[in-house]
Amino acid sequence: MTIKWNANLYDQKHDFVSKFGESLVNLLAPQKYELILDVGCGTGDLANEIAQFDAVVLGIDASNEMIQSAQHKFPALTFETQDAALMDYTHQFDAVFSNAALHWMKQQDKVIDNIYRALKPHGRFVAEMGGKGNIASIVRALRKSMEELQLPFEEQYFPWYFPTAEEYQTMLENEGFTVQMITLYERPTKLQGDDGLRNWLVMFSDNVLQHLSDHEKELVYAKCEELLKPDYYQDKQWIADYWRLRFVATKLGT
């Protein structure tokens, strides 16, 4: 499944993604000369943060548009267009880092297996992703909007995977990871401006709405705003109901 991204809109209206990820970089605690893989690096802001610790970073993303933007912004770093479900590294990295990306990857078993193989023995996997309950109100509004507009909601176009902490810990442990910590927490997230929800939908719901015309998409955006405004628009500010799953896991063995 190919997901289209608008790198400029991502940087201009959705920089909260990287800003919230800065505390995750602190949890990663990059060390000098460590080789670190940033999976789903987007436009490269957190890869650049990691590099400030004198670690060596490779940023990968399935979106060529995102990688081109990252390389333009941070020419001294290395970025590659690559699907995490298809990557093939063996015992190469001291750590794998990922922020706000894993929930876009439907082939979780392959992704976790590839990350495990990419790590050196005792390497760490530090990540945050959407978890159970993430954007539940927005998903409900999308479904209800399309129902009221008599437009089909195609389940196969739903691009996200939002697991519980227990579910994801089991997946990690089944692969061979030892989970040091895993937590699912609520993080209401402000969206920029009066058109914050619309910009969010344009940026992130394109896959869900890919079978609709531009006019039909506009109708869905407007209907979602109508449905969500009573509860999620406060003091001229849209709030998205984010739930995040954050974890630290270690690869053992030789």
* CA-derived radius of gyration, the chain: 18
DSSP state string for 108-153: HHHHHHHHHHHEEEEEEEEEEEE-TTTTHHHHHHHHHHHHHTT---
Q: What is the pLDDT of residues 201-251, one digit of tens each?
A: 998 999 999 999 999 999 999 999 999 999 999 888 999 999 999 999 999
Domains and CATH numbers, the chain: 7-251 (3.40.50.150)
What residues pair up with 129 in beta bridges, in sequence order? 245
**In the chain, % of residues over pLDDT 90:** 87
Q: What is the pLDDT of residues 116-138, one digit of tens each?
A: 999 999 999 999 999 999 999 99
Q: Three-state DSSP class for 78?
A: strand
**Count of CB atoms within 10 A of residue 189's CB?**
17
On whether the pTM is more than 0.75, the answer is: yes
**Count of CB atoms within 10 A of residue 117's CB?**
16
pLDDT tops 80 at residue 253: no
